[in-house]
Structure 1
C-alpha cells in the first residue's frame, strides 16, 4: 500500500462549525485549503449529518438549530462542488511533523502544508460512577451520535446523568424521537445553576431562555443537585441507577441504558503533538491550549473551536473565521477586519464561563470515589490501584500513568485523565493543576501497524493553491 503525497498551502483538520467557517474564509480570499475530517460528511458533532437517504428531517435532528445546520452544510457543500476546497472525509490525522500531516483513511496519505488550522472540537468529559464500566453505559455524545446518524435510542428505558446543556438537550431530543427517558439526573446544585444562570442570561439571553424551556419541558423526570451512588448491572448491562436527591433521599431508578456526561473536554491531542503549550483553566477546570486572541498557537499553527475554548457551536463558527483571518494576515493576504468577530467571541466566552459556574465539574465527589471504582475503562484500573501507585510515582500524572497504566488504553486518557488527576490531587492534598496533564503522542488515534509498513509516497498530486 503506497501512500499519496498531497501539497497544500493551508490544511484544516476538522469539518465542524469552526473548520467550515475557516475554509469558507480562506476560500473567499482565493486560497484552496484541504479539509480533513473523520466523519463521512461535514458538520461536526453538533451538526452531525446522517447517511445519504436518511429521511428524518433537520428539524427533528437539530431542533431550533436546524436553520444554522442547513446554512453550514450548504455553504461547505457548495465550496466542494465549486472546486474551491478539497474535502477528505473519513480520515484521521494521526501525526504531525516538519510540515507534514500523516493521515489515515482507507489508505495512508501524507499532506505537506505551510499552515495548519486545528478545529478538532471536543469530547465528552466523563466522571466515573461505580458500575460505569458495564456494557450499556454510554457517553451523552455517543447516545446523541446514534440518534442523529441512525435515529436509534440506545435503550428502552434510559437514565441520563451528569451536568451541562447536553444533558437536557439530549433528553429532549430522545423524547421527541419517542424514546422513554426515565430520569435526568443533574449533579449541579440548583443554587449554582441559578448563580451561573444570571451570567448566562446577561451574555446570551435568548440562548439561556431556550435552554430553560428545554428544562421545563422535561417536567418531573429532571432532578438537580443529585449524588450518583452506583449503576446496578447484570450480565446484560445496567438494571438501575442508584442516586440520592438534593435532600439526601435515596432512589433507585430502573433502566437498561445509562448516558453520562459532564459538559465537554477540549480535544487538544493534535495541538499538543503540533507543539502548542497548555495552561490550566480554572473556569473550565481542564488544561487548554495557549493561543493569542486570533488563535495563533505557534509558527504556522492556528487553533479554533472547542479544541481551543469550549464556547459552543456559535463560538466555534466565529473562532474558525478568526483563525483563518490570522492565517491570511501571516501570509500577507487581504483579510476581513477581525475586531467585530473578537467582540462577539468575548461575549461567547462570558457566557461559557458563566455556564461552567452553573454546571460545575464534580471534583470533590471524584476524589472520594471508593477504591473499587473503575477509573480507566480501557485498562480496568481502579481508584484504589491509582492511589496505591502514588507512593512510587508521586503526585505527577505521567509518572502515575507509566507505573499504574491509567491513560494507557485505547482512548489514550481522553476519558480518564481528568478523573485520574482529581484522585491524585485529593490523595496528595494538592490542586489538580499541580498534578499536570498527560502528554499526547502519535498516533493520535489507534491505528493498525500495517498502515505504517507501506512504501514511501510515490504519487504527487498537483499543489492546491
Structure 2
C-alpha cells in the first residue's frame, strides 16, 4: 500500500519541525511555503545576496534561527519543497483527502494530499485609530519584515505602539539598526505586567530576554510609556507626528515620519476553515480558533494543526507543536510510537502554556481603544466601510451576526478577506448590540483566502 501524501502548509518553526519528524520516518512530505526561503515570519531570511549575520537579524534568537535555517537546508533533498507558493483554496476530496489550490512560480496549480498539517502562523491584530490609513503607518510585523528581508527601516524617526511583547523587541531591533525611536507606547497598563511577573518567571530565560530588551531601551533613553489611552497619527499626505494621551490623561505629540502599530497577534486560520475544521472561541485573546487537541489533531481525522495558526504561542511553542503533531500523525498511520518522547514534549508544552497565560495577563486586551473608535473612522480599508456604517447597519438593519454584516455592507469582502478588518468589525458590532463578542460569530472563510492575480486562470 503506498504511503499517504502529507502536505505541510507553512515553513516556519512548526512546519519545519513537522517536516523533520516525517522525513526521519522515511516519508517525503510536501512543504508548501508562501515565503521564498524557509523560516517563517519570526526567522525570516533575507533574499540571496542580501544576507547579514544572524546576530544582527535575530539577537538572542540567532542560534535558534540559524539552527532552523540549517535544518531547512538539510531537509531539501528529503522533502518536496515548494517556496513562493500561496495556498489560496482547500477543497475536501471524496472519499478522503484534499485538493490544495495554489499559486506558485509556475502559475496556478492543484495539489492532491491525503493528510494536511496546517502550520499557517499568525499576523498582527489591527485596530483602527485616527490616521492609521496614512502612508507611513505599518504594523509591527511589517516593520520587522522591512528589517529582516529588505535591510531597511520603515522611517528615520519611528514611533512604535503596541499591546504585546513584540513592542519592546521591535523597539530594540530598530534602535540597534540605527533608527531613531521617538516613542514606545504600550497601550496596556504597567500594573498588569507587575502582577503577572511571578507567573512569567516559570520560563525564566524568556522573561529575562524581555527584561533585557526593556532595560536596553531605558539605557538608550527611549521614551517608553505604559497605559497609553489614545493615539492619533497626524499628517497631510503622510505621517508627520503621533499624538497620544498618557495614563494620567495628559496629551503629548512627537514628530515622526513612520509609525509601527499592532495590538497583539491573531491566528491565520483561513486554511483550516476551508478544510472544514471546527472552530471554538478563545475568550482571553478574543478570537475564533480551530479546535486542536494537545496532540495536534483537529476536529477532522486527516487534518493536523501546529503553531500560531491554531492558537498564539510563539516560536518556541510552534517548534514543540510541530514535532508533537508529526508524531501524532505517524501514530495515526500505524507507525511505532515513542511514548517517552511524546511525554517529554507534552511536559514542555504544558509549561509553555502556563507562561503564555501569564503573558496574556501581562498584556490584556485594549478594550479602551475599541470603545474610542469614532463613527467616521475607516474599519474596512478595502471597501471603505466606517465604524459608523457598521453601527448603523447593526441597529437599523438587524445585522446581529458577522456574515450578515458582510452581506449588507461588504465589510470583509476586499483583498484581505477580513483578515485585517474582521476582528475590529466584530468588536464594534458586539459593542453596538451590547452582547458578548463571541455571539456575533466570525467571518466564514472564502477562497481565495489570499489575493491572486486576475491573469492566472482559476
TM-score, scaled to structure 1: 0.93
1:71 aligns with 2:73: no
Moved over 6 A (4+): none
Give, in whole Å, the separation in 2 of the partners of 1:55 and 1:16.
18
Q: CA deviation at 1:281?
A: 0.6
What corresponds to 2:41 in structure 1?
45
Q: CA deviation at 1:349?
A: 1.3
Distance of aligned partners of 1:229 and 1:67 in 2 relative to their CA distance in 1, 3 Å threshold: closer
RMSD: 1.3
What corresponds to 2:128 in structure 1?
128
What corresponds to 1:350 in structure 2?
354
What corresponds to 1:392 in structure 2?
397
Give, in whole Å, the separation in 2 of the partners of 1:393 and 1:158.
42
Q: Pick from 426, 441, 444 the counterpart of residue 449 of structure 2.
A: 444
- Secondary structure at the counterpart of residue 114 of structure 2: strand
Aligned pairs, number: 443
Q: CA deviation at 1:110?
A: 1.5
- Indicate conservation of the 8 Å contact 1:215/1:222, yes or no: no
Q: Pick from 435, 439, 442 the counterpart of residue 440 of structure 2.
A: 435
1:243 aligns with 2:244: yes
- Indicate conservation of the 8 Å contact 1:14/1:36, yes or no: yes
- Indicate conservation of the 8 Å contact 2:230/2:244, yes or no: yes
Q: CA deviation at 1:208?
A: 0.7
Matches for 1:247-258 after TM superposition, within 5 Å: 247-258=248-259
Q: Deviations over 1:145-199 (max 9, x none)?
A: 0100111001111000011111110110011010111000000101112122332
What corresponds to 1:457 in structure 2?
none
Matches for 1:26-105 after TM superposition, within 5 Å: 26-80=22-76, 83-97=77-91, 98=93, 99-105=98-104
- Secondary structure at the counterpart of residue 296 of structure 1: coil
Q: Deviations over 1:18-71 (max 9, x none)?
A: 000000000011100010001000000000000112242100100000000111
Q: CA deviation at 1:8?
A: 6.5
Give, in whole Å, the separation in 2 of the partners of 1:55 and 1:428.
51
Unaligned runs of 5+ in 2: none
- Secondary structure at the counterpart of residue 69 of structure 1: helix
- Indicate conservation of the 8 Å contact 1:8/1:111, yes or no: no
Q: CA deviation at 1:372?
A: 1.1
Give, in whole Å, the separation in 2 of the partners of 1:405 and 1:162.
28
TM-score, scaled to structure 2: 0.94
- Indicate conservation of the 8 Å contact 2:163/2:366, yes or no: no
Q: CA deviation at 1:309?
A: 1.5
- Secondary structure at the counterpart of residue 412 of structure 1: coil
What corresponds to 2:375 in structure 1?
371
Matches for 1:207-356 after TM superposition, within 5 Å: 207-219=206-218, 220-235=222-237, 237-297=238-298, 298-337=300-339, 338-356=342-360
What corresponds to 1:205 in structure 2?
204
Give, in whole Å, the separation in 2 of the partners of 1:385 and 1:339.
52
What corresponds to 1:3 in structure 2?
none
